[in-house]
Structure 1
Amino acid sequence: MALALLAGGCTEQELAALKQAPPAAPAPSLSQALTEAAEMRPSVESAVGLALEVDDGVGIPLKVKAGQTFYINQIDLRASLKASQDEGVDGLRRAGDFAQLPWDGVKLVDEEPIPLSNPDGTFTRRRFYRDAQWMEQPSVFNVQPVDAEGLPTGRAVSLHIGKDDRRKSNDDFFIRRLRGIQWTYDCRTATDCTGARNFSEEALVEVRNARTGAIPFTLPSDTTALRLSWSLRPGAAYTIPVTQVAAPTYAYGFSIDVKAVTPPRADGTYAPGTAVTFQLALRDGAGTRLHAEGGLPSYNEVTFGQNEPGIQYYRAFSFIDPTTTYYRRKHRERMLMTQIIGPAQRIQPIRSIVDLDAFFGPDDVQSIGTLERDGVYAQFQTFPPANKLFGGAFFPETKGWDAPVSTSWTYQLPENAEPGTYLVTVKGRRVYLGEDVPASRTLEIQVGSPERTQATLTTGSCRTCHNQGGEFAQVLHGNDNRAACAACHAPLGFELEGPIVVRTHFIHSRSDRFDAPKEQCSSCHLTQESTQRTSKAACLSCHKSYPDSHVEKFGPIESMYVGGGRESFQQCTGACHTTHPGSGF
């Protein structure tokens, strides 16, 4: 099978034989792993997904619950080095943890500056590399539990990560992303890196979201490490130290409770113009609260302290663990935030840009959309509030990262709120004893009328691909309600690619594992009309070029995500591009 059982079910004779095996057992052959993967995948409903990480050859230690049943849900590998000359990612060919990998074919495919300047006035550019042989070809990971002497304590787990250009039924993970990134930290401007001398190069392996039926295993009590080997690095296994905790304070799992503290009117509705206060509670899988009632820990306590419950806040700052849509570790961004959007019948993408200055103001809640400007009302709040979260990063003297964090917040319904259903969502992530898991919760409130209204979405058929471990309830934010996305996913002044339309276009256009023809809009869009709002962001989140006549009229492409700058969300014309070749409409 794709995964082999560990020694929780071994006989004494089998275990003795394993103890006599050489400590550096090779990973299974690719053909062997493919044969095993073709067998039936059983259920792992009671098992916990483990996240494994190796950074520059060093395994990040794991604490796990003793006696728990697990499966491998996520593997992150990173190799990196510093450079003083612009050589792309060629330094990784010569030195570092991935130097022995086959780098033939590697090429630059995308680049994107970070729009905010560095503290010294310079800018950072990111360049993204793909198509190296090791990124493209199929390979297998082997996870072997071992004792303090390095001897096997059980059978190994084999994980087939598949090929870059095709999804197959025997792949063990839904998401597979292997790439290289060059960072340039001292560019003169956002578009000019002439004379730069401060570079870093990194190669990343990201595989996550185990396919349905990953086979469960239990670690024997004498297991002190996992030996992770990769078929592309034969004879060079990584060691991930393991500590087994007999009686952990909390259970595995993660859920979010949300309630309205402000009572509605007698008919169960809220009047337009009402300030409605909400409260959240973060809980483990057994329902135990992960924090004091009414309060969450400070940012410093969560990010740099002990943080036993595993609560997570946004951590994608450049000096912690920067993320990049599609290309770098978005699953590790770990933002805890809430949004309101409505009425449901008006839900649509928000194209008004939220500037960073709005995050530094006195208001904990940011206004994102208005009925007059955007056709829909929307607000959001981060935890800690943005003026503490981002204010503490940019202005550490304000001590925002030491501030206590409330579990309550207030949304101000507009005076002209249209009757209908409004969606209040909280999403977050928990990392606890080896499990890295998202959760979301959406609460509906009625405004002005008790009659429930629904969103009319213009895209669909997602489950054609997003299944068997790739369901929206499992990936991303653990949120399968696509109507409850647009308020959080507005364009930000420092991250213009925020809208779902941009991210969906970009990810699916870059992924070679998306099976449908890229030009066939009808694979996702339900109507031709939904493809006809043309803008730089809509078109250039898929297309990498456009005609010289467009360059002359609209300017050169400056962003791989949205094409240009703030103008990218403006509809450029209603007369052209009313059809798309091969769209299916």
Structure 2
Amino acid sequence: MTLSFKKCVLMLPVLAVVSGCNLLDTSDVEGTRGRGARAFDPYSSSASGAISLSLLWYKGCAMLPTGEPVTKGDLNLPDYGATCYNLNNGYPSERNPFEPVEPFARMIVTPGELYFLREFSAMDVALARFEDPNDRRTPAAWMRMESLFKDLDWSGLSSGRDAWKRLQPQTFMRETFYENAAWMLATDDTFLLEVLDADGNVRTGITYSRRDFLAESAVTGRTRASFAVTGLQRPLFPGDPTPRRAEGYDALEFATAVKVSLANSTNPFKSFTMPDLRGEGVIRLTWSQLPLKPFLFPVTFQPSSERLATCYELGPDGLATDVPTPCGFGLKQQVQVARPANGNFFNAGETVDFVVSLQDGDGHGLHPRDSMPSYFDYLGEGSNGLAYFNEQMLLTWRDSSASESGFKVVGPLQNLKVVNGDYVPKDYFAYPAASEPQFYVPPDIMAVAGGMAVRPTTRYAVPLPPDAKPGTYAILLKGHRNYEGERLNRLDPFFFQVGQAAPTSYPGRIGNCQVCHNGVGSLSNVHHGVSVDHVETCKVCHHDDVVGHVSDFIHRLHISSPKYAQNKGDCTLCHLTRESTLRPSMNACVGCHPGTHGTEYFDLQFQELNSPPNAFGNCANACHVTTAPAEHVLPAR
């Protein structure tokens, strides 16, 4: 770190370090960040009123969000496995059979605290078992007759969407989704949560319904039954029966999965007090569709007074000191930006230096001033809950909410535009330019000197391009924290000026999300945790088919959801300008109109983004030129 930067840091803070400030003067605000009563803001630690609880279960055992299996300790639990699967042992193959191990992790809960169930996710997987890519029937038979969910009502099951996802150039995963099983379509099922002491006595209980969760059906992709083949080249023609292994894969990888996942509580007022116990106990969750097979989550009761002082007090500059203090719940993200050379704004070609500070809801530093916990610390529950990029949680658990902590620098805001047909944006500056953020711990950590023992820096320097356009730029922090049963995701923007002191704002092409996403179901409390005020930042990551294109999955999710009661042909609710609706593509339209044109344009979906024509091509300029589709209502000219 250069001396000049250290001098700059002493002059911090220069900009406001709270997210959602009035810099952009947005009109459709969410009030209390959209979560209803402030007492239930899940990010606010001791001010929350109730702690959000996530219960994760994988192949018969409770699991921490790190992928580590939870031990049953000394509890007498005959139905809980003596061995469990550790998702961090890698993907199964002949060289790595992915054998179960003796579980070792502990799930800590705090006696006397109010909790509400925010998430329940359970999964069974058959890995490297069914290895005929053309056989869809055998995986379905395993789900219905052998899986840990075989006692569900599978009547009506049908083979649905066959999706090809690009993993890297010329490499794909094909996933066949199974749909319409009776258990998937149910709406009146319940979940009885009970807390038991070490002797098996029920000390408290509460019943949740499926309607108590925003994401509770298969349309969101969290709940799924699917057969996936990874490591394929593209098919040569529709129905091509010959699987071709992509370069870099020793063998194709097969996964048949059933995952039940309910998330994002719509009623955090339905809370319960964790019993005043010590030592070991169990949270038992009984699903009305599986009444004889409850899900067990061994827990360790630890009073807040016994927490070790592993967090840090903050100094006057808002950064961590070396004074230790116990951690609390919640998550805050802050950024301090070094003062520009001219004192007001950065110029094109200059470097933006900034310090990241991650804290609990009480304002205690989760890490020292200059470094974050190592990847070893994260896996061993020694990171104060900070979660890092975890490839196995993405590939095996199929959950992008569990990792990916990092940042992205983008701007100017007025130039943010949906990227079509490219891997990098052309209309605005983005660092990194690729769709994924700058992870605090990179995916290739093992190739870095020191490997998983490296402690990531908190200080970053991002050079602006020599032709950087003037306006307001944003540092987008994407954070994840898993702490004593609480699992939180959030995305916060922090702003700085380039080329001019006058602030600029988003283009205002899309919005109105708060019409449906309000209260506890607001965007601030869903998935990545970004406020509706900053929803136009979604496009800066979701612009290719690796992480998913925003125009595809947003349409697919909402049009398929029974919760979206609006006229699905009325584009004016979300599209605020006519311009934003006038670039239809196969990618944008297939979310609402699967199967359009049959196989006529089959090849387009497999073309590389930088090799037109492809699925991102502008259909309006090609065929749909004269008028918009009659069934669509577009904003006025």
Q: TM-score, normalised by structure 2?
A: 0.71
8 Å contact from structure 1 (residues 253, 437) kept in 2: yes
Whole-Å separation in 2 of the counterparts to 1:521 and 1:111: 27
Following TM superposition, by how much is the alpha carbon of 1:240 offset from its aligned partner in structure 2, in angstroms? 1.1
Which letter maps to 2:551?
Answer: V
Within the candidate set 505, 513, 517, 1:462 is matched to 513
Within the candidate set 501, 508, 517, 2:551 is matched to 501
Following TM superposition, by how much is the alpha carbon of 1:265 offset from its aligned partner in structure 2, in angstroms? 4.2
Q: Does residue 380 of the first structure (1) align with residue 383 of the second (2)?
A: no
Matches within 5 A, 1:561-576: 567-574=614-621, 576=624
Which letter maps to 1:211?
Answer: T
Following TM superposition, by how much is the alpha carbon of 1:224 offset from its aligned partner in structure 2, in angstroms? 1.1
Matches within 5 A, 1:35-46: 44=40, 45-46=48-49
Whole-Å separation in 1 of the counterparts to 2:483 and 2:569: 42
Percent identity (aligned): 24
Which letter maps to 1:63?
Answer: I
In structure 2, what is the equivalent of residue 307 of structure 1? 382
8 Å contact from structure 2 (residues 586, 615) kept in 1: yes
Q: Does residue 230 of the first structure (1) align with residue 283 of the second (2)?
A: no
Is the alpha carbon distance of 1:484 and 1:185 closer, same or farther for their aligned partners in structure 2, counting shifts above 3 Å?
closer
Structure 1 residue matching 2:198: 3-state secondary structure:
coil
Structure 1 residue matching 2:334: 3-state secondary structure:
strand
Q: Does residue 80 of the first structure (1) align with residue 112 of the second (2)?
A: no
In structure 2, what is the equivalent of residue 418 of structure 1? 469
Q: Does residue 348 of the first structure (1) align with residue 417 of the second (2)?
A: yes
Following TM superposition, by how much is the alpha carbon of 1:59 offset from its aligned partner in structure 2, in angstroms? 3.0
Is the alpha carbon distance of 1:570 and 1:299 closer, same or farther for their aligned partners in structure 2, counting shifts above 3 Å?
farther
Matches within 5 A, 1:409-558: 409-480=460-531, 481-491=534-544, 495=546, 497=548, 499-547=549-597, 552=600, 554-556=601-603, 558=605
Which letter maps to 1:311?
Answer: L
Q: Does residue 159 of the first structure (1) align with residue 193 of the second (2)?
A: no
Whole-Å separation in 2 of the counterparts to 1:384 and 1:405: 15
Following TM superposition, by how much is the alpha carbon of 1:190 offset from its aligned partner in structure 2, in angstroms? 5.8
Following TM superposition, by how much is the alpha carbon of 1:583 offset from its aligned partner in structure 2, in angstroms? 1.9
Q: Deviations over 1:217-258 (max 9, x none)?
A: 212123711111000012221221111112223100001111
8 Å contact from structure 1 (residues 174, 469) kept in 2: no
In structure 2, what is the equivalent of residue 173 of structure 1? 213
In structure 2, what is the equivalent of residue 322 of structure 1? 395
Within the candidate set 131, 136, 140, 2:185 is matched to 136
Structure 1 residue matching 2:587: 3-state secondary structure:
helix
In structure 2, what is the equivalent of residue 239 of structure 1? 296
8 Å contact from structure 1 (residues 43, 213) kept in 2: no
In structure 2, what is the equivalent of residue 66 of structure 1? 111
In structure 2, what is the equivalent of residue 32 of structure 1? none
In structure 2, what is the equivalent of residue 337 of structure 1? 406
8 Å contact from structure 2 (residues 162, 176) kept in 1: yes
Which letter maps to 1:57?
Answer: G
Structure 1 gaps of 5+ residues are 1-40, 162-170, 355-367
Which letter maps to 1:151?
Answer: N
8 Å contact from structure 2 (residues 408, 437) kept in 1: no
Whole-Å separation in 2 of the counterparts to 1:267 and 1:308: 36
Within the candidate set 206, 223, 226, 2:261 is matched to 206
Q: Does residue 582 of the first structure (1) align with residue 635 of the second (2)?
A: no
Following TM superposition, by how much is the alpha carbon of 1:431 offset from its aligned partner in structure 2, in angstroms? 0.3
Within the candidate set 175, 179, 184, 1:126 is matched to 175
8 Å contact from structure 2 (residues 556, 592) kept in 1: yes
Which letter maps to 2:535?
Answer: R
Is the alpha carbon distance of 1:566 and 1:102 closer, same or farther for their aligned partners in structure 2, counting shifts above 3 Å?
farther
Whole-Å separation in 2 of the counterparts to 1:555 and 1:52: 41
Whole-Å separation in 1 of the counterparts to 2:439 and 2:520: 33
Is the alpha carbon distance of 1:422 and 1:292 closer, same or farther for their aligned partners in structure 2, counting shifts above 3 Å?
same
8 Å contact from structure 1 (residues 383, 389) kept in 2: no
Whole-Å separation in 2 of the counterparts to 1:240 and 1:218: 17
Is the alpha carbon distance of 1:400 and 1:568 closer, same or farther for their aligned partners in structure 2, counting shifts above 3 Å?
farther
Is the alpha carbon distance of 1:147 and 1:434 closer, same or farther for their aligned partners in structure 2, counting shifts above 3 Å?
same
8 Å contact from structure 1 (residues 340, 487) kept in 2: no
Structure 1 residue matching 2:276: 3-state secondary structure:
coil
Which letter maps to 2:120?
Answer: I
Answer with 59-68 or 48-57: which moved more.
59-68
Within the candidate set 310, 328, 333, 1:256 is matched to 333
8 Å contact from structure 1 (residues 486, 500) kept in 2: yes
Q: TM-score, normalised by structure 1?
A: 0.77
Following TM superposition, by how much is the alpha carbon of 1:81 offset from its aligned partner in structure 2, in angstroms? 2.6
Which letter maps to 2:444?
Answer: G
Structure 1 residue matching 2:539: 3-state secondary structure:
coil
Is the alpha carbon distance of 1:43 and 1:425 closer, same or farther for their aligned partners in structure 2, counting shifts above 3 Å?
closer
Following TM superposition, by how much is the alpha carbon of 1:535 offset from its aligned partner in structure 2, in angstroms? 2.2
Matches within 5 A, 1:347-366: 347-351=416-420, 353-354=422-423
8 Å contact from structure 2 (residues 388, 441) kept in 1: no
Structure 2 residue matching 1:269: 3-state secondary structure:
coil
Whole-Å separation in 2 of the counterparts to 1:377 and 1:153: 55
Whole-Å separation in 1 of the counterparts to 2:177 and 2:613: 23
Whole-Å separation in 1 of the counterparts to 2:480 and 2:359: 11
Whole-Å separation in 2 of the counterparts to 1:536 and 1:234: 44
Following TM superposition, by how much is the alpha carbon of 1:398 offset from its aligned partner in structure 2, in angstroms? 6.5
Q: Does residue 51 of the first structure (1) align with residue 101 of the second (2)?
A: no
Structure 2 gaps of 5+ residues are 1-36, 41-47, 64-69, 71-106, 218-222, 245-251, 308-325
Structure 1 residue matching 2:542: 3-state secondary structure:
coil
Following TM superposition, by how much is the alpha carbon of 1:133 offset from its aligned partner in structure 2, in angstroms? 0.3
Following TM superposition, by how much is the alpha carbon of 1:464 offset from its aligned partner in structure 2, in angstroms? 1.8
Following TM superposition, by how much is the alpha carbon of 1:211 offset from its aligned partner in structure 2, in angstroms? 0.9
- For this pair of structures, how many residues does the alignment match? 500
Whole-Å separation in 2 of the counterparts to 1:565 and 1:91: 41
Whole-Å separation in 1 of the counterparts to 2:290 and 2:408: 45
Following TM superposition, by how much is the alpha carbon of 1:418 offset from its aligned partner in structure 2, in angstroms? 2.4
Following TM superposition, by how much is the alpha carbon of 1:189 offset from its aligned partner in structure 2, in angstroms? 5.2
Following TM superposition, by how much is the alpha carbon of 1:130 offset from its aligned partner in structure 2, in angstroms? 1.7
Which letter maps to 2:283?
Answer: L
Following TM superposition, by how much is the alpha carbon of 1:114 offset from its aligned partner in structure 2, in angstroms? 4.4
Which letter maps to 1:136?
Answer: L
Whole-Å separation in 2 of the counterparts to 1:427 and 1:343: 19
RMSD: 3.3
